[in-house]
Structure 1
């Protein structure tokens, strides 16, 4: 009887999971299908899903109108650069808070996390003026800096959580064997937290890749990533849904492929230390 109840519960949970997954994935699927339609078919009502005249004209026109590979390179440099810079800052910070906690450590962590609750538009004007005076507008360096600062609280929180799961006795043993501070962090602590650091890296690459507010307001042409590439297809002349869908598909395809191949590592890192 208990086995029948468990099987029924498992079937219900599986069905719910599939329903949620389909609901989340459907907009992406519809965008990809729309990218292969003509403009007339893209706005037709009722919409057609598979039975339409498939065409690659939208992709050809998007490539002719925009330099996709420049925007792609900008996205790669900005997302990887901000993530690596964030890790360089966050690993020592998380190490100190995890193994040498002070009375106000929790307050500092909560303060850092509270900065994510601030609406970005609230600090747009001062940051824009600072970037203008420092000649950082429309530069990859400027976007790397601002995206690092935006995602740094999340990076510190995640790595701090992973470091807290590592017994402090291991570090004490390393010190007794003569390890200095650099050896302790690089050769002892970091390798043990590789799953957590990898998941943090992947998550923040995705966050930086999808960031639109700052990239649209701090870039124009030279450093514009794929988010600005998509926005350029919303014009005063109207929305061309087929071409917009083609641009969106080209922008999300790299990060979807990365997420697909790294999903096991991402799940492993996000559940690191959950079971003792």
Structure 2
């Protein structure tokens, strides 16, 4: 018989969960609050949490200085483009490993995952030289490709996990009804795995949006996304904390809004197949 937790235990677990959630969110909250302070208040000791002179001057200056919307559009193109391109590659790859397994499937999956263990700086020089010779430096096309490649192992792993939960008999029935490989993937497999594909898409958009290493090293100005937009507020003269916080808030706001409105779909996809 399943054990039913008492009200006290539920309350305790709820308080613990809210405490952990607040601790995780606190740096973001502090960044947002700092963005409304003056530079003097931003470095004041002891710091003021709420009772300070609120101002929007930092946001005005950041927009005038850095052309926020141009960087925002670059981030949208890079994150959405790399994720969609990754799904086009990962769905057939995950299908083949989930429904046409071989003795090497686990080894291939582990090899793909091992590529995430290599520090990015270890392959910076060869990729930089390839991009330079191919004319892809400081281009959105180049960034879409490189961000797709670094997130591709995660996309394939997640889709493979979701696809494994789909009964193979359904695909066999589709084949018996005359469905070809293309129809099987597009009209049978993909609709059944929509929750998993949606959560994979959302998670990888977030990862691509926050990618800083490659966007800082492979761009200059024309294709710079919001990560480069934030980095521009670290200068030899020092850190301007209030303006840096305003730039950071403007960079994370779109992804926070996306995560807020898609949280149900994201949780549903991440728990897809967890209960049989």
User: What is the TM-score when the length of structure 2 is the normalising length?
Assistant: 0.98
2:212 alignment counterpart: 212
Q: Distance in 2 between matches of 1:143 and 1:113?
A: 21
Paired residue for 1:101?
A: 101
Residue in 2 that maps onto 1:65: 65
Alignment of 1:1-276 (within 5 A): 6-276=6-276
Q: CA deviation at 1:11?
A: 1.5
The range that moved more, 93-102 or 2-11, is 2-11
2: CA distance, partners of 1:184 / 1:44? 62
Residue deviations 1:227-269, cap 9 Å, x none?
0000000000110000000000000000000000000000000
Pick closer, same or farther for the CA change 1:3–1:134 going to 2, 3 Å.
closer
CA distance in 2, matches of 1:265, 1:241: 35
* In structure 1, distance between residues paired with 2:123 and 2:237: 31
Deviation at 1:4, TM superposition (A): 8.8
CA distance in 1, matches of 2:5, 2:253: 41
Q: Distance in 2 between matches of 1:5 and 1:58?
A: 49
What is the total number of aligned residue pairs between the two structures?
A: 275
Q: How far is 1:6 from its partner? A: 2.4
Task: Show structure 1 runs of 5+ residues with no match.
Answer: none
Gap change, CA 1:120 and 1:3, over 3 Å in 2: closer
Structure 1 Cα separation of the partners of residues 4 and 88 of structure 2:
51
Return the alpha-carbon distance in structure 1 between the equivalents of residues 228 and 152 of structure 2: 23
Mapped to 1, the partners of 2:225 and 2:233 lie a distance apart of 14
Task: Name stretches of at least 5 consecutive residues in structure 2 with no aligned partner.
Answer: none
The alignment partner of 1:53 has SS state of: coil
How far apart, CA to CA, are the structure 1 residues paired with 2:264 and 2:149?
A: 28
Q: Provide the C-alpha distance between the structure 2 equivalents of 1:93 and 1:256, rounded to a whole number of angstroms.
A: 31
C-alpha deviation, 1:3, in angstroms: 8.6
Q: Which runs of 4+ in 1 moved over 6 A?
A: none
Q: Aligned to 1:178, what secondary structure does the other structure show?
A: coil
Compared CA separation, residues 14 and 182, structure 1 to 2 (3 A): same
Deviation of residue 12 (structure 1)? 1.6
RMSD after superposition: 1.2
Q: Displacement of 1:8 after TM fit?
A: 2.2
